[in-house]
Structure 1
Amino acid sequence: MKKIKIAIWGINVILLGIVLFLAFGKSNTTEPKYTTYTVKSQSTNYFTGVVQADEKNAVSAEPKSSDEVLASTQVINGQKVMKGQTIFTFYEDMSGEINSVNLEINQINLAIQEVNKNTTKTADDKIELAKDQQNLADAQDKLNKLNKQQNRVVAAPISGTYYKDSEGHSYIYGNPVILGNVNEFSLDKIKIGKNVTVVKNNGKEISGTYSKKDAIPYNNGSVSYYHFQVSTDESLPYGMHVQIKNKSLGYKIPASAVKDEDTVYLLKNNKKHKVILNLTKHGNDYYTKEDIKAGDKLVLF
């Protein structure tokens, strides 16, 4: 019996030694702790926009008076036009007024010829000649205006597309651009000349560029809003709704995680793994689009 008790006591001593060894051994081999940064998803700003004309000018096919008639319409709905191109012509019979002015011009010319017959002109002759020449210029100007009034022309004020709406109003629409709006908190995301991705309503992506943005808000209530424009090489139909996607800089990496301008240490299972990245510095941080993903943990130094 005494031998059994001694054996049990010996086993307990051995077990206690094992426990103490494991406890102290574990505490002496504790793995180092690192301060880390968790990589977040690439930040991309989305805005909405609709294709509209950068300019819109009304043109009228209505006669200006009861004596004037529409002589011709030289465009059709949806036709492209150039600035200065004739769209409508009108006619108003001004023959009576025109004949009267022509007669006046003839009489003035005869008076000028009479004065010019004198090779030596007196001071009075010179004064009379100057008056006749001024009267001739005024009469010719009047004749030009009468001819324009008789054959009035309406030309395209801008280059663009001619449209006549359901109510009979006619317009020239300028170049199609994407118009959007943004609040004051995102205004800094709209940078003139910056390239963006435009997602059409069928999901197809095309390239675009921020071309304009308001300096003054169009609505400055509790939050201010601003208009902006996006231009594209591809001509989009008026009225199309699109998404505007700022091109992402990539995954953001703080400067404190970067060594030698291109090296980071990825932490996996509490072990550091050296990774060399193609980094771009923007402000105080670095960005990359490859060889890293959201959720990765980087060691901070």
Structure 2
Amino acid sequence: MKNFYDTHKVIAIFMFISFILSIIVFSSIILFNLQSENKEKEYSTIVIDDQPDDIFKGIVSPEKTDNYVLDSSLGELSEINVVNGQEVNQGDTILTYTEMLDNVNIDMTSLSFAIESAKQNFDNANQDLADAKTKDSELRSEFYKVNEDERSEINSKIETNNESLKTAFRAVQSEKLALDQANANFTEAEAKVSQTSKVNVVKAKNSGIAIVSEENKDAAPLIQIVSPNTKIIAQISEFDFERIVVGQKVSVEPINSNQKYFGKVTNISSVPIAKTADSNTTYYEFMVKPDSNIQNGFNVQIHLKKNGYIIPKTAILNNQVKLEKNSEYVTTTVQTEEVNGKIIVKEGLKKGDKIAENFEDIK
């Protein structure tokens, strides 16, 4: 009988131990599944990264182009003084004309009288200036001779006389210019009287490279002087027009190399470019000044960096996202805007941050 009870006791203990082990195994399975589920959620993350750049096509052009056309008022063109591709400095002669003179109507007496009149005005202006200077010296001398009560009145007179000094000085400069011009007119007329022809030259306004239309001298322009400095002319559609502003920084890449340049938007035209027959989209021209010159004529791509980061709508709820920090998710407030159906985070996140792809999955 004792053996019977001992046997049942062993069986009971074995069943109890089996029950406890079953609970442990079952709990382990549930815990494993929960951990697996959490791990899956950890991997359902999005790494915050920059948006793809907006890219626009452009072409490199001279920053400035001076055009010189045939000018019959200077006479007959007698020489083109530069050749195609020549480097030209500011002030270099680029065109020479020969003008036939008609001296019948030149009135030397009037020109001579103009000189005498200008000289008299110049002398008068100098006398006014001298008088103002003398008065200034007298007032300043008197200033140190009187007592403190009288100095205020004299100081006021000095200030009033200073205005007269300034006016007199400007008058001297103006009358000097008038006298110089009268003398120049007389000298020029005197030279014309003794000549039947005159050589007129056209000088380069700015330095650059000459482009000469030698085959057709009636072409407009006859000569172009293009500056060595460059700009980029590009086009932007009406859909992207609001994305650029003057002063905005961009990067520039020639399509024939991997070289990268930087620059700024310098001008955005408010006048649309004429539409082509096969396009209903309106385009506008804008210009970029590169930090360093690019070869004239190169085709380039202009990269405009977008601000903010795109995230899926499932990742945000009430302007909050689940930000991963130290293997945990922290609710973080962000500032966003919706553009073309996409959520753009403006503030609250940075490149490299990780957020949950589905906000509501993280409790």
TM-score range, shorter chain: 0.5 to 0.7
How many angstroms apart in 1 are the aligned matches of 2:259 and 2:109? 70
Which secondary structure does the structure 1 equivalent of 2:108 belong to?
A: helix
The amino acid that maps onto 1:246 is: L
Q: Are 1:87 and 2:149 an aligned pair? A: no
The amino acid that maps onto 2:108 is: I
Per-residue deviation at 1:141?
11
Which secondary structure does the structure 1 equivalent of 2:293 belong to?
A: coil
User: TM-score, normalization: structure 2?
Assistant: 0.50
Q: Are 1:288 and 2:350 an aligned pair? A: yes
Given that 1:265 and 1:299 are in contact with CA atoms closer than 8 Å, whether structure 2 keeps it comes out as no
How many angstroms apart in 2 are the aligned matches of 1:251 and 1:109? 78
1:217-236 mapped onto 2 (5 Å cutoff): 217-219=272-274, 222-236=280-294
How many angstroms apart in 2 are the aligned matches of 1:167 and 1:287? 63
Deviations 1:64-100 (A, max 9, x none): 3897342561576242443x65422222342xx33x4
Q: 1:183: which partner in 2?
A: 237
Deviations 1:258-285 (A, max 9, x none): 7xxxxx3269xxx636799xx9999744
Q: Percent identity?
A: 19
Q: 1:172: which partner in 2?
A: 225
Which secondary structure does the structure 1 equivalent of 2:271 belong to?
A: coil
Q: Are 1:105 and 2:108 an aligned pair? A: yes
How many angstroms apart in 2 are the aligned matches of 1:24 and 1:192? 64
1:98-247 mapped onto 2 (5 Å cutoff): 98=103, 100-101=104-105, 104-106=107-109, 143=189, 150-157=198-205, 160-165=208-213, 167-168=215-216, 169-174=222-227, 175-200=229-254, 201-219=256-274, 222-247=280-305
User: TM-score, normalization: structure 1?
Assistant: 0.59
Considering only aligned residues, what root-mean-square deviation do their CA atoms show, in Å? 5.0
Per-residue deviation at 1:252?
4.6
Per-residue deviation at 1:228?
0.9
Which of the numbers 324, 339, 359 marks the counterpart of 1:265?
A: 324
Per-residue deviation at 1:297?
3.6
Distance 1:153 1:145, change over 3 A: farther
Distance 1:287 1:170, change over 3 A: farther
Q: Are 1:50 and 2:40 an aligned pair? A: no
How many angstroms apart in 2 are the aligned matches of 1:288 and 1:48? 29
The amino acid that maps onto 2:350 is: T
The amino acid that maps onto 1:162 is: A
Structure 2: unaligned runs, 5 residues or longer: 1-14, 117-181, 217-221, 337-343
Per-residue deviation at 1:226?
0.8
Distance 1:92 1:52, change over 3 A: same
| Residues paired across the two proteins, number | 243
Q: 1:38: which partner in 2?
A: 46
Which secondary structure does the structure 2 equivalent of 1:46 belong to?
A: strand
Per-residue deviation at 1:150?
2.2
Deviations 1:177-216 (A, max 9, x none): 1111111111222221111111123110111111111112
The amino acid that maps onto 1:188 is: E
Structure 1: unaligned runs, 5 residues or longer: 1-10, 114-135, 259-263
Deviations 1:88-127 (A, max 9, x none): 2222342xx33x455x4159869xx9xxxxxxxxxxxxxx
How many angstroms apart in 2 are the aligned matches of 1:236 and 1:249? 27
